Amino acid sequence: MILWLNPVSGISGDMLLGALLDLGAPLDGIREAVARTGLSGWSLDAERVTRGAVGATRAVVTVSDDATDRSAAALLAHVERAGTPLAERAVRAVAEVEAGIHDSDPAEVHLHEIGGLDTVVDTVGVAAALQLLDVTEVHCGPLALGSGTVSTRHGVLPVPAPATVALLTAAGAQVTGAGTGETVTPTGAALLLAAGARFGPVPTMALRAVGYGAGTRNPPERPNVLQAVLGAAEDAATPMVLLETNVDDVTGEVLGHLVGQLLAAGAADAWLSPIVMKKGRPAHTVHVLTTPERAAGCERIVFAETGSLGLRRSPVDRLALPRSTSTVDVDGQQVRVKHGPWGAKPEHDDVAAAATALGLPLREVARRARDAVAE
């Protein structure tokens, strides 16, 4: 899939994460990736807000340890545990430009304003969301850069901050002016660099969904949102890899966990088939559909979780029909609905949460969600 970003109000880590959530990236899958970092005392939620006249999703990140001053190495240690290479590249990029600015070693550089643990949640969350949305290309329009000054631990610095400018320069970004105040943060710039974003006009693609990520501020002069558009190459089947292995000594609990791990790692699909092996032994085939770039990572997960001694690789083509996601209100509960050319289906996790909150049967909440779509 192709992701195009329209940063007319700038970009930050939480704005990008909010936009990806608005596009339909599953919150639970992102939380699972962040949990692998080993962080404690954190939370990540999605909140519907309005910025100007635009409805958007705000990624709400909270951490119990709100210190913003720690070494880049400490942040990187957490990020590396998540197994999200994009997040690792982003944090390393920040460390390298900060080291260049302060004439120090990247391995020893100390971060101040962006040294908080929320940076871990933002970077790992964005990396996981891109995987879960199957994004293979990131494109970006001109970044709206603010001006003026900002107070930091190093004193008053110009806006955009030196680290931000260095990261955008390394990314080959296109920029334009956007009044006063900080509109592009170092974390936002680092994520664009790590994602290999291409700057220029909107690429040719078949539109699939649009989302808006909200910034924290709500200025009167413009909607403080990041527009994100998801699309696919027109009329093109996507080359994929099908991984398969047969296992007869793995419990159902482990297999269920395995499917969740594969999906969280960015597999397009993962499923199990019951089979009968030699000597009449009951067993299962593990199937994984993934992009060629993610095949090796999925293989490692299969081997680590099942102990299998081998698997089969087959090239396949996948044709994905257009789809989009909307949100409906069911008695005060927000339920996402996935739309395709031939119908619409409420997201099960949202339906289950709403059913629990309302004390209603699952099928009744699903019916009300479908009725809300039809209105």
What dotted CATH number matches 238-318? 3.30.70.1380
pLDDT at 225: 94
pLDDT at 107: 59
pLDDT at 45: 92
SS (H, E, C) the chain: CEEEEECCCCECHHHHHHHHHHCCCCHHHHHHHHHCCCCCCEEEEEEEEEECCEEEEEEEEEECCCCCCEEHHHHHHHHHHHCCHHHHHHHHHHHHHHHHHHCCCCCCCEECCCCCCHHHHHHHHHHHHHHHCCCCEEEECCEEECCCEEEECCEEEECCCHHHHHHHHHHCCCEEECCCCCCECHHHHHHHHHCCCEECCCCCCEEEEEEEEECCCCCCCCCCEEEEEEEECCCCCEEEEEEEEEECCCCHHHHHHHHHHHHHCCCCEEEEEEEECHHHCEEEEEEEEECHHHHHHHHHHHHHHHCCCCCEEEEEEECCCCCEEEEEEECCEEEEEEEECCEEEECHHHHHHHHHHHCCCHHHHHHHHHHHHHC
pLDDT at 21: 94
pLDDT at 103: 63
pLDDT at 155: 64
Sequence spans of domains, the chain: 2-232, 238-318, 324-374
Residues of the chain with pLDDT under 50: none
pLDDT at 236: 60
pTM here is 0.61
